[in-house]
């Protein structure tokens, strides 16, 4: 009976440690006064990714990428209207599975895109 329990526990621990249950990739996108980083953003198509958006400025910004968010399968979090809105100093996270393509991103606040808050998302 003890041998059966040990075998069952060993099998369970191997299953839990299996690489088949790999965690999504982690990716941080920094929003600052009139810039995004990194530029461009590179993601793997069809592979889950946790995108963390950090607004490191004292004022509000957004990350707008309507086509990108519409083409992706969102697992958790939200991007209503295809954007992530952040107050100064705020961080938000979204988990998604991106679709292959090249997408444009920008801050939709008045003149922010013209002042350099643009980016490209390359998914392949």
Domain range annotation of the chain = 24-123
Would you place residue 16 in the very low, low, confident or very high pLDDT band (cuts 50, 70, 90)? Answer: very low
Question: Is it the case that residue 19 has pLDDT exceeding 70?
Answer: no
Indicate the CATH number of 24-123 among 2.60.40.420, 3.50.50.60, 3.40.50.700, 3.40.50.2300: 2.60.40.420
Q: Contact at 8 Å (CB) between 113 and 100?
A: no
Find out whether 57 and 31 touch, Cβ atoms under 8 Å: yes
Q: Are 82 and 108 in contact (CB under 8 A)?
A: no
| H-state helical runs in 2-119 | 2-16, 66-71
pLDDT of residue 20: 52
The length of the chain in residues reads 124
Contacts of 27 (CB under 8 A, 6+ apart): 41, 43, 49, 50, 51, 52
The answer, yes or no, to whether residue 12 has pLDDT greater than 50, is no
Per-residue pLDDT tens over the stretch 79-100: 999 999 999 999 999 999 999 9
pLDDT at site 102? 98
């Amino acid at each position: 009976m003890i041998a059966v329990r040990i075998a069952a526990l060993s099998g369970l621990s191997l299953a839990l440690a299996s690489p088949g249950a790999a965690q999504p990739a982690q990716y941080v996108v920094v929003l600052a006064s009139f810039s995004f980083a990194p530029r461009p953003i590179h993601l793997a198509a069809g592979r889950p990714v946790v995108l963390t958006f950090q607004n490191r400025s004292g004022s509000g910004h957004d990350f707008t990428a309507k086509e990108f968010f519409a083409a992706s399968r969102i697992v958790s979090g939200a991007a209503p209207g295809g954007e992530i809105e952040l107050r100064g100093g705020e961080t938000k996270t979204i988990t998604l599975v991106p679709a292959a393509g090249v997408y444009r991103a920008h801050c939709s606040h008045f003149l922010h895109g013209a002042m350099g808050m643009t980016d490209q998302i390359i998914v392949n």
